[in-house]
Amino acid sequence: MTAAMAQPGNGKPLAQFDLIDGKKGFSKRTINGVAYWLGSDTGITHTFTDTTAVSGQTYAYIVRAINSKGEESQDSNETIVTIP
């Protein structure tokens, strides 16, 4: 499962790309006191559109995977985009 976070740190992502596996909502297990969003059980999606982006602003995006045990992958390469 991968996610796009709204801001640095823990919490609910902007987008969730997850398997249809019966797991949804926030995790029962917490990491540093925070439950993770497990998705909506919607299935894998391979696109993301940031509908909150504002013209003239610069944004940095990374992808990180978190499995059901709370184990995290390394961050992907950062992509920096300036909205025209």
**Is pLDDT above 70 for 35?**
yes
**Is pLDDT above 50 for 42?**
yes
**Is pLDDT above 90 for 16?**
no
Q: How far apart (Å, rounded) are the C-alpha atoms in residues 42 and 19?
A: 7
- N- to C-terminal Cα separation, the chain: 30
What's the pLDDT score for residue 19?
Answer: 72
Residues 73, 62 contacting (CB under 8 angstroms): no
